[in-house]
Structure 1
Amino acid sequence: MRRLGELEAEIMDRFWRWNRPATVREIVDDINKHRPIAYTTVMTVTNILFHKSWLLRAKEGRAWLYTAVRSREAYSAALMEDALGASEDRSTALVQFVENMSEDEVAALRTALRKVGRRTKT
């Protein structure tokens, strides 16, 4: 999976934070609070995200209402999977990754492994 581009990530961040459908106008207005951006630029990139299957859209009046297809966590997990796939020795890569984790992150990983272990047993 390719990493999202800068503006793609900025747009997706709004969907993930808002956790609701949104129009291009809403996204443009929110980005413009921090920096100027043209409506047409956001419209083009949002359309690209739709065609890449990151967003669904439905007509609402004259505008498209977009909804995120995948969560931020699913995106992060796919990036981690790709990064692991770049290694010839996944076990060693995992060990090095875990060695760089904080204690809280290691605890969260243990919890996740227990959850996954329970699911595969049933």
Structure 2
Amino acid sequence: MNIEKALTEAMTIDGAVGVSLVDYESGMTLGSLGGGGLLDLETAGAGNTEVVRAKMRTMAALQLNDEIEDILITLGRQYHIIRPLNSAHGELFLYYVLDRTRSNLALARRHLRQVEHLIEA
């Protein structure tokens, strides 16, 4: 698992503001890149752990036999994408923040799937 390489690759897409890899069992950020003065990725990762846990509980309560591909949160100026990983390394998700004015959501989601494979390799 090469976290640094995967996060660096995630930041190559137009409009990328920041990306982090988060363990949603503990809420710990395992690595992050970007964010700058716009976003505290560690706080955001911990907070979004609750989003992932809540969706997992809801799916279990509804007895949905499916997996979350990603969770999209659309803000006025940003897209926030939460992508749970099917990982042998634990209960992880990628948290990706994009500037809406400079990014293409469809391309970003596709790019994030490629980044996921770098983490799982």
TM-score under structure 2 normalisation?
Answer: 0.25
Give the structure with the larger strand fraction.
2
TM-score under structure 1 normalisation?
Answer: 0.25
Quick check: which has more Rg, 1 or 2? 1
